[in-house]
Amino acid sequence: MKRIELRLVAELMKNSRKSDRELAKILGISQPTVTRIRNKLEREGVIREYTAIPDFSKLGYEILAIILALSKSLDKNQAEKARKILLEDAKDKVFGFIMVERGIGSGFDGVIVSLHRDYTSFQQLMTWLRQLDFLEIEKTQFFLVDLNETVRYRPLTLSAIARHIEQQAEK
């Protein structure tokens, strides 16, 4: 990506409510150029959405769950079926999924990040996961974050990664 595109993405990550005029002033380019670049980045899928990051505890959520899962050996068709179940079946549930992704590390190949209003909600998610025949549920592990905890190290923010992107743009 071009340096100016990286800088624009970083500015939007810090505050997506900035107008194209404000962004132009910060970046030292014209407002029409900002609009043109932003539209291009949206079309290319670099910018997928504009969103706010609320204080989830003030919205009634008490728990952030990070669940590490291991899938059984799946062929391509089984993996596609599993993906559809996670996408479609989960829509009917009241789980506050933030992210469900495949990956690798620590003996796991999947991660689920979700928000829960209480421990009962988390237990309902775990019960649902136990019903999925493509998971090695007995090997599933989780980490729970108490969103009402008064001592917080670094709540969710995109500003830090935005600064990292800015540093990369300067190289």
Whether CATH 1.10.10.10 fits 3-52 = yes
- Is the confidence at residue 23, as pLDDT, over 90? yes
Which residues, 6+ apart, have CB-to-CB distance to 147 below 8 Å?
Answer: 56, 57, 61, 62, 63, 64, 115
Report pLDDT digits (tens) over 30-58. Answer: 999 999 999 999 999 999 999 999 999 99
> 56-146: what fold?
Alpha-Beta Plaits (3.30.70)
CA of residue 75 relative to chain centroid, distance: 27
Determine the pLDDT at residue 57.
94
Instruction: Give the tens place of pLDDT for each residue, 96-127.
Output: 888 888 889 999 988 999 999 999 999 999 99
Please state which of the ranges 19-33, 56-70, 123-137 shows the lowest mean pLDDT.
123-137
Which pLDDT band holds residue 20 (cuts at 50, 70, 90)? very high
* pLDDT value for 152: 86
Q: Which two tokens stand for residue 10?
A: 């970083």
Show me where the domains of the chain are located: 3-52, 56-146
Alpha-carbon gap, residue 135 to 138, rounded angstroms: 9
Give Cα separations from 118 to 53, 63, 142, 163 (angstroms). Answer: 20, 6, 15, 34
The average pLDDT across 144-162 equals: 90
